[in-house]
Structure 1
């Protein structure tokens, strides 16, 4: 099969990968805390060594969770073109280190910064994907409600926030599938022949309006069905009232997180490679 005929893989998010592992069994709040802590770490110390360490951590965690490469989406060609032009534009900034070829000095600082930011973005996306592929959406709302317990002392509506987030996470994959069906159905409809550029623009605008109207109708219908289902199951309070809390495995994960963050900070601050960059 030629590369042009290979089927493209779409993005799979907010749907856990089938199977059980130590990562799947962790409390959802633990995974959210890990993601937040690593995000703060990479914000304060966005050097090469922390990025590489987090990337290795993501790969090892994916291996433990049994996540295969098949969950990764296909990279569209326009994204490769965009990255190429982004790197080309960043290379004009110059800076150290320098590469001398035939008495011509090329500054690679801007290009290396662009590569560093790109790899950082990929690592963060992989970290978020791990949470999505190993966590049931139903576990997110109780975890948010549990983590937001101190905010209740300030009389903040933590349960309402948790329910809203849970409903948004549940509806997001469902609406994506509905939109794909709408787009596919729209492509199957016969089109009027357009001979001029003005007619093509009018046809495109009409199709866009029809798609938006259909999408709004589907969204309202899905919201009404979800509201009826929630009411039949006892109301929105039941979503965040499910039993949720850390276990001994989560304590081990917290200890690994603290040790990992401490090691990353020490390596970033005291190794010659980190201090030289």
Structure 2
């Protein structure tokens, strides 16, 4: 009796990117005002734009990790990185290595400049940190809180006659419709793949089939979008109009001021250290 070959290990399914859907549960980060989180994202973005050093990147990364720990973000919330992304990163690293630059590493009498690779790694780390900051807001904030927070933060712009409330309403509607439309498009794409297909015999017939499928998908997507927009309009009218989307019942509390103080202190410390370091050189 021959032994059956060992079964191949089951491939772990990839975790998709989940946007604008808060992680279930409650935490001190969940209870923060949405405007506080938007201010933190703005401050960190400005800080990393003008001071994209390793110290600033590491400091912001530590803040993101501590925030994720306090918010009880599970590891399953992190999306899987596709293999194509690793290939693109490897190709970018090899291309950046050709630039050379300081520091220079000598191996067997051959000088290898590591400046390009270090710059590429720093830019990649900067991108990952910014994505982490945005993801933290998405995982801990209800979409319905973004519109009122934007209306409150942008209130000073009313003095120059900028339509703040209208912009806040448009942003709130877009954020609410975005996850819903993604689900609808995924259902449409899955239904399209389940339909039986005729195998074309020539390359021209394959191109024509692809064009027809793309047109059908676009038409179905536009139809679904219009239907969802009509349903959302009826729901908004039944609840009192678009003015409710820009209403601001929440205000910053003690925890929000403490959070802003920590972020500003960390940013000021990073700027001071960077300034002193450059002056001493």
* TM superposition score category, shorter chain reference: over 0.9
SS at match of 1:165: helix
Equivalent residue, structure 2, for 1:175: 181
The verdict on how the C-alpha distance between 1:137 and 1:157 changes in structure 2, with shifts beyond 3 A counting, is same
Equivalent residue, structure 2, for 1:224: 230
Equivalent residue, structure 2, for 1:233: 239
List structure 1 segments (4+ residues) > 4 angstroms apart after TM superposition: 1-4
| Contact 1:14 1:169 (C-alpha < 8 Å) held by counterparts | yes
Matched, 1:80 2:65: no
Equivalent residue, structure 1, for 2:253: 247
* Cα deviation, residue 157, structure 1: 1.1
Equivalent residue, structure 2, for 1:67: 73
| Contact 2:152 2:248 (C-alpha < 8 Å) held by counterparts | no
Equivalent residue, structure 2, for 1:150: 156
**d(CA) in 2 for partners of 1:259, 1:69:** 29
* Cα deviation, residue 38, structure 1: 0.7
**d(CA) in 1 for partners of 2:155, 2:248:** 14
**d(CA) in 2 for partners of 1:26, 1:147:** 15
**d(CA) in 1 for partners of 2:75, 2:274:** 30
| Contact 1:268 1:275 (C-alpha < 8 Å) held by counterparts | no
Post-superposition CA distance 1:72-96 (Å, at most 9, x none): 1111111111111111111111101
- Greater CA radius of gyration, 1 or 2? 2
Structure 2 residue ranges without an equivalent (≥5): 1-6
Post-superposition CA distance 1:234-267 (Å, at most 9, x none): 0000111141211111111121112111111122
**d(CA) in 1 for partners of 2:105, 2:77:** 39
Equivalences for residues 19-34 of structure 1 within 5 A: 19-34=25-40
**d(CA) in 1 for partners of 2:176, 2:280:** 45
Structure 1 residue ranges without an equivalent (≥5): none
The verdict on how the C-alpha distance between 1:3 and 1:142 changes in structure 2, with shifts beyond 3 A counting, is farther
Post-superposition CA distance 1:148-197 (Å, at most 9, x none): 11111122211111010000000111111111111111110111111222
Post-superposition CA distance 1:195-238 (Å, at most 9, x none): 22211111111111111111111111111110010000000001
Equivalences for residues 156-167 of structure 1 within 5 A: 156-167=162-173
* Cα deviation, residue 2, structure 1: 6.5
| Contact 2:22 2:139 (C-alpha < 8 Å) held by counterparts | yes
| Contact 2:34 2:145 (C-alpha < 8 Å) held by counterparts | yes
Equivalences for residues 94-243 of structure 1 within 5 A: 94-243=100-249
TM-score where L is the length of structure 2: 0.94
Question: Which of residues 250, 254, 274 is equivalent to 1:268?
Answer: 274
